[in-house]
Chain A
Amino acid sequence: MLFYHFGKYILLLKAVFRKPEKFSIYKAEIFREMVDIGLGSLGIISIISVFIGAVTTVQTAFQLVSDLIPKSVIGGITRDSTILELSPTICSLVLAGKIGSSIASQIGTMRVTEQIDALEIMGINAPGYLILPKVAAGVMMIPMLVIISIFLSITGGYLAGTASGAVTAAEFIQGLTTNFNPFTVTIAMVKAVVFAIIITTVSAYQGFYTNGGALEVGQSSTKAVVISCIAILAADYIIAQLLL
């Protein structure tokens, strides 16, 4: 069963990347999706990022009870955890819920109301027209959201650390700027791109092969989120293992 779905998923991707019928129409769709995925998710990503950084700083400070460890380490730990893991992975898990369910239900509804059939009858490559703009927009916007998330998360950590007295501003900034390895940002971007592909394609697959009515659209949407989350965590481990 797993291989059957994987094979069907690969065949769908093959159809997605067929030559577009008219590039100008696809371009307009990509911009529309970029607004939906990027701007539409900015609010929730901003809020969770600030709290991720704040919690990381406060909990790291709580665990560092030894006088032998300088407080500046808190800044370094917040920075590396945020860049390497928390921003790309937690943001992607949240986006899988927000964007993934939206993609699956949108495409699923189009399937059950025969709108996809209408596209196919017109001679339009429905997977390409419906899914390619979402994948392209996701690959462009999710890394940007992750960069914003990293920035806000560190800012949140700084604010929480200084406001609670767990670490001074000078110590936090010293930790942030000491021993920074730029390769961690590369890893974050690789993760963001891979997670973007997973979120958009897995959700689109679930929506595209929806059968039935409203109930099945809801089920596809749920499946899209669950499978995307599992796939994101599996890919997270594989990327970490390969790149670190």
Chain B
Amino acid sequence: MIDIKDIRKSFGENEVLKGISASFKPGVSTLIIGGSGSGKTTLMKCMVGLHEPNAGNVVYDGRDFTSLSFEERIDIRKEIGMLFQSSALFDSMSVEKNILFPLNMFTDMPRSEKKDRVNFVLERVNLAGKNKLYPAELSGGMKKRVGIARAIAMNPKYLFCDEPNSGLDPKTSILIDELIQEITIENNITTIVVTHDMNSVMGIGEHIIFLHQGQKWWEGSNKEITATDNKELNEFVFATKLMETLLKK
């Protein structure tokens, strides 16, 4: 369970987050949606400590992350997995070494056990046997899946995904969404997905938070999202002709 309380963040004069509070439950994928510049990625970065919020608290199962020092945060960080928009795989390392990296750094598991873990997570993301490939040899979708495999290698309690579908074709996007959803339910992970992809919203949006101009504008599920009369949310949801046509039908 993650609670964020009144998160505020400014870059110089530009106030990006204007006091956002929310709760994220385990076993549920929460989608943070909103237009470009609405503060989605900044909020996520504040939650994982890549940005320091100007005010507010991020609480991981009762532990106030924002009040901890770098060393004190390490224990919580070991419980966090993150999938980056660009996948952020270490390009000097093979797929296997990318996944082994956190295991080597933080565990004393025997080599065979670590290898088993790598094979297990690669199988989980349908990339069995791709251990020796390098990131440059992978397609966009494969990179995302390796990113997910690396993120779940340490059995995280919290999973953050920053635009997991960006740059992917609709079919691969759905596969990635389903994978995130399955992993979340199987391992009872608290998952937060930042996206502006309406396919994801309609597919896995059990809990959705809509940000607009740095504020939480709307909160609900994908069942409620098309029925709302919230003007800004409707503009966002029906921005594509496809969505408009499908929902009219």
Interface residues of chain A, those whose CB is within 8 Å of chain B, are 21-22, 25, 113-115, 117-118, 120-125
Contacts and interface: CB of A to CB of B under 8 A. Distances in A.
Give chain A's interface secondary structure class: loop
B246 interface: no
Contacts of A120: 49-50, 77
Interface string B81-112: 01011101111000000000110111000000
Give chain B's interface secondary structure class: mixed
Contact of A114 (B77, B86, B160): B86
B192 interface: no
Given A121-B80, A122-B77, A123-B73, A115 B102 contact: no
B88 A118 contact: yes
Interface of B: 48-50, 70, 73-75, 77-78, 80, 82, 84-86, 88-91, 101-102, 104-106, 154, 160
A117 B89 CA distance: 11
B50 A115 contact: no
Contacts of A21: 105-106
Contacts of B75: 123
Contact of B105 (A25, A113, A117): A25
Contacts of B86: 113-114
B136 to A, nearest CB: 12
Nearest to B49: A120
A121 B82 contact: yes
Given A21-B105, A114-B84, A114-B86, 6 more contacts: A21-B106, A115-B88, A115-B90, A118-B82, A121-B49, A122-B77
A115 to B, nearest CB: 5
Contact of A123 (B50, B104, B106): B106
B74 A123 contact: yes
